[in-house]
Amino acid sequence: MPDSASPLPSLDALLRMPAAETLAARFGRTATAAALRAELAACRAARAFPTPPAAILDAAADALARRFAASQRPVFNLTGTVLHTNLGRAPLPRAAAAAAAEALASATTLEFDLATGQRGERDEHVGRLLREITGAEAATVVNNNAAAVLLMLNTLALGREVPVSRGELIEIGGAFRIPEIMARAGAVLREVGTTNRTHPRDFRTAIGPETALLMRVHQANYAIAGFTAAVPPAELAAIAHAAGLPMVEDLGSGSLVDLAAWGLPHEPTPQESLAAGADLVSFSGDKLLGGPQAGLVVGRAELIKRMNANPLKRALRLDKARLVALEQVLLLYLNPDRLAEELPTLRLLTRPAEAIRATAERLAEPVRSLWPDRPVAVESCRSQIGSGALPVDLLPSYAVTVGGKALESLSAWLRMLPRPVIGRLAEGRLWLDCRCLEPADEAAFIAQLRAPADTW
């Protein structure tokens, strides 16, 4: 359908075609016209004459699909790391995700008290539950645990010294380091002890007129073994209180239950820290707790009140969606008998190895069918709890492994599926750890492996 002056169809002619009308209905006439114009310009630049109108429309459709595609998409996490930072950490319970979606789509009682008809306090939606679960006097929540530490130090130690053991000057994901967070908070770091051994006398010696508080940082994402010594929380709290100072603890991953009850490695809880004498305890919402990204602080009411009065609190506060999701997750903790069933994080961490093996065996057949010339096997492996939460503790698991050449290309192909599959390459094989592939998702996983590419 070229016009008299060009071997290519005109833009107007293309826009009148049924395929273009379909694109306009989906993506809008303005975007469709722009895409067709760009494809016509590309044909002219490449002197691709003649180019059938259908080919131009197909190319425009592909360009529009790429332009309007969401960049953040659900994936199948077969990496073997349950709380994977790059994949969004803890998966939310369905009820929490639904509550967040509903809150985003409507007006809510975020800061409105239905009983009085007056302004309410947004943190109270979760504060009441945190007080009940941990036994703390008060609680507050911010964007993440790094923000919680920042707010604690900026409120209580601005321009003053904070002694911290050298063995606890950790670096968390994204190269954020405790010393740098302390500096941004306006606190002055006073390093005490050595990397592997810190004693009570080191803290006592460090306390002076400029000391604001004593701080303990839990080694949530690494471990020091061998010839070591650390000051227990109760003893550090006693040293602080004897000097008239508060003691605060950054627990990092912060489980609200004793994981040992389910056969997992014990992780210190906020309840234990408070019982040991900590005045404030901070921890994450999206790690072992199993909720959305958040930083939670529990402890003495007077200190929490000071934190909430800090102008930084408004800059770091949570929005209504995450607050309602966190509330739904915390409600699950009121029924500990069903927690491992209802909370996805705990369910995945406690999943029996034999159940994972059964999933891997069901998965192996469609994988073999997909790549009949490659060695495919079901092998035992070890899953990681999380890179930022108990990273050195491994859980028995099973994976479907794929061998052969060009594994990088194979891995890239899996990432291009409608719901991308993220595995890991190690020991000359592609490992698809099945711990995080629950039975409810197996059918969808297998279906896309079997679907022809032109149906995606």
Do 385 and 333 lie in one domain? The reply is no
Do 387 and 258 lie in one domain? The reply is no
Report the CATH number that the domain containing residue 167 is assigned in CATH.
Answer: 3.40.640.10
Do 419 and 356 lie in one domain? The reply is yes
Q: Please give the Cα distance from 404 to 413 (Å, whole number).
A: 15
Answer whether residue 359 is part of any domain. Answer: yes
Do 290 and 209 lie in one domain? The reply is yes
Q: Say if residue 390's pLDDT is above 70.
A: no
Answer whether residue 2 is part of any domain. Answer: no
The predicted structure's pLDDT at residue 195: 87
Answer whether residue 4 is part of any domain. Answer: no
Q: Which of 286, 313, 342 is the last residue of a domain?
A: 342
Do 317 and 359 lie in one domain? The reply is no
Closest CA relative to residue 284, chosen from 221, 200, 376, 361: 221
Answer whether residue 186 is part of any domain. Answer: yes
Give the pLDDT mean for 107-135.
97
Q: Which of 342, 370, 391 is the last residue of a domain?
A: 342
Q: Say if residue 174's pLDDT is above 70.
A: no
pLDDT in tens, 211-224: 999 999 998 666 77
Q: Please give the Cα distance from 113 to 345 (Å, whole number).
A: 32
Do 131 and 150 lie in one domain? The reply is yes
Q: Say if residue 403's pLDDT is above 60.
A: yes
Answer whether residue 176 is part of any domain. Answer: yes
Do 152 and 271 lie in one domain? The reply is yes
Answer whether residue 5 is part of any domain. Answer: no
For 164, the 3-state DSSP assignment is: strand
Do 42 and 139 lie in one domain? The reply is no
Q: Say if residue 184's pLDDT is above 90.
A: yes
The predicted structure's pLDDT at residue 226: 83
Q: For residue 161, what are the β-bridge partners? A: 188, 211
Answer whether residue 6 is part of any domain. Answer: no
398-422 in b/e form (b: 16+ CB < 10 A) is bbbbbeeeebeebbeebeebeeebb
Do 197 and 300 lie in one domain? The reply is yes
The predicted structure's pLDDT at residue 342: 97
Q: Count Cα neighbours of 216 within 13 Å in the Cβ-side half-sphere.
A: 31
Range of the domain at 16: 11-68
pLDDT in tens, 255-307: 999 999 999 999 999 999 999 999 999 999 999 999 999 999 999 999 999 99
Do 276 and 170 lie in one domain? The reply is yes
Answer whether residue 337 is part of any domain. Answer: yes
Other C-beta atoms lying within 10 Å of the C-beta of residue 48 = 14
Q: Which of 305, 321, 342 is the last residue of a domain?
A: 342
How far CA 25 is from CA of 19, 318, 448, in Å, comes to: 10, 37, 27
Report the CATH number that the domain containing residue 398 is assigned in CATH.
Answer: 3.90.1150.180
The predicted structure's pLDDT at residue 27: 98
Could you tell me the maximum CA-CA distance found in the chain, to the nearest angstrom?
Answer: 93
Give the pLDDT mean for 20-42.
97
Q: What is the pTM of this model?
A: 0.91
Range with lowest mean pLDDT among 165-174, 251-260, 303-312: 165-174
Do 264 and 307 lie in one domain? The reply is yes
How far CA 13 is from CA of 4, 16, 22, 30, 58, in Å, comes to: 13, 5, 15, 15, 15
Do 333 and 198 lie in one domain? The reply is yes
